Amino acid sequence: MATTVSAREVLRHFDLDLPTDLYGNGHINTTYLVESTPRYILQRINTEIFKKPDEVMANIQAVTAHLRRKILEAGGDPNRETLTLIPTEDGLSYYEAPDGSCFRLYRFIENAVSYDAAETPEMFAASAHAFGKFQRMLADFPSDRLYETIPRFHDTGDRLRQFREALAEDRVGRASSCQPEIDFVLAHAGEVHVVTDAIADGSVPLRVTHNDTKLNNVMLDAKTGEGVCVIDLDTVMPGSLLYDYGDSLRFGASTGAEDERDLSKISFDLTYFEAYTDAFLAELGSTITPREVELLPFSAKLLTLECGMRFLTDHLNGDTYFRIHRENHNLDRCRTQFKLIADMEGKMDQMAAIVARCCKAYGIGK
């Protein structure tokens, strides 16, 4: 949504009057760097996607306040290890302009960088430490205090329902050209309720989850490479840690790009899987339950299936959600996900053995 209010004008409502420059390569919110001392990040919230910015900001405010307390108790630096919201002159967590556009201001995290892809297993492990620590520090936060900012976001059963509807409608006549992919989804339909059923029966607890655990949502220390801070908290809401873990591996342990057309380049890298799993469990320790441990390998497969279904659904619907840059782009994305699943299925025993080995190293499950 275009906005008529200038970033500099917005800053006056945060008691600042400084120039700004566009910053970063995010696809959802519009981000500006405020050159001051200290520096700040100004963001316009995409209200086309987040239709209730008050709920998004209430979640962020509650979660970051909890994290700050935990970080201080551990002797850390809350201005560096979690996002720091700067209130408006009126003491609010965000500013709503007369045209309806919404802005928030964060303190800039200095001497830290983010990457779009893990160049080494060690870099991937650094992100796992950050996400695992994020989960551990929020383990005692009551998830029912949070709003569901995107309803049923990781409800894979509901994603299957949407896929079936798109297939039945076949609104742009594409179903006949992607029958192998359709058959792949239908063959895996019996697996989509595993995690939601476990949440329902209480064997998998409902937790505070990030829900967008890509590598570039962790700031890494520019000198040490260690994970410093988890960012992009717009999708923080109740969920399962299996969603965060599984989605990290879906993206980070793939040997190829998400839209790679040469499927021979796509496989699931067990070295990256082990690096991430070891670091993640090292942080979680005894806060993870036996059923969560059992479902860790499966969750990587499930989140990959969910993402592949979403790409295929959008392809059948005429590419109305994901931005495309070439013909059949969403179908290409879908095929990489399904190739990744096929490779995972041949490695499930090895993945389970890696999880067991890591659990033993950290005394989990004794």
pLDDT tens digits along 328-357: 999 999 999 999 999 999 999 999 999 999
Cα distances from 362 to residues 131, 226, 261, in angstroms, run 17, 20, 40
- In whole angstroms, what is the distance from residue 326 CA to residue 312 CA? 15
Quote the CATH superfamily of domain 121-361.
Answer: Aminoglycoside phosphotransferase (APH), C-terminal lobe (3.90.1200.10)
What pLDDT band is residue 253 in, cutting at 50, 70 and 90? very high
CATH number of 7-110: 3.30.200.20
Q: Are 283 and 136 in contact (CB under 8 A)?
A: yes
- In whole angstroms, what is the distance from residue 218 CA to residue 127 CA? 6
Phi-psi region of 173 (alpha: psi -120 to 50; beta: other; left: phi over 0): left
- In whole angstroms, what is the distance from residue 34 CA to residue 53 CA? 22
What pLDDT band is residue 24 in, cutting at 50, 70 and 90? low
Each residue's pLDDT tens digit, 26-37: 667 888 999 888
- In whole angstroms, what is the distance from residue 118 CA to residue 262 CA? 20
Q: What is the mean pLDDT of the chain?
A: 94
Each residue's pLDDT tens digit, 309-322: 999 999 999 999 88
- In whole angstroms, what is the distance from residue 128 CA to residue 12 CA? 38
For 74, phi then psi, to 5°, come to -85, 0
Average pLDDT value for residue range 45-68: 94
pLDDT of 1 above 50: no
Each residue's pLDDT tens digit, 269-318: 999 999 999 999 999 999 999 999 999 999 999 999 999 999 999 999 99
Domain boundaries, the chain: 7-110, 121-361
Percentages (nearest 5) of helix, strand, coil residues in the chain: 50, 10, 40
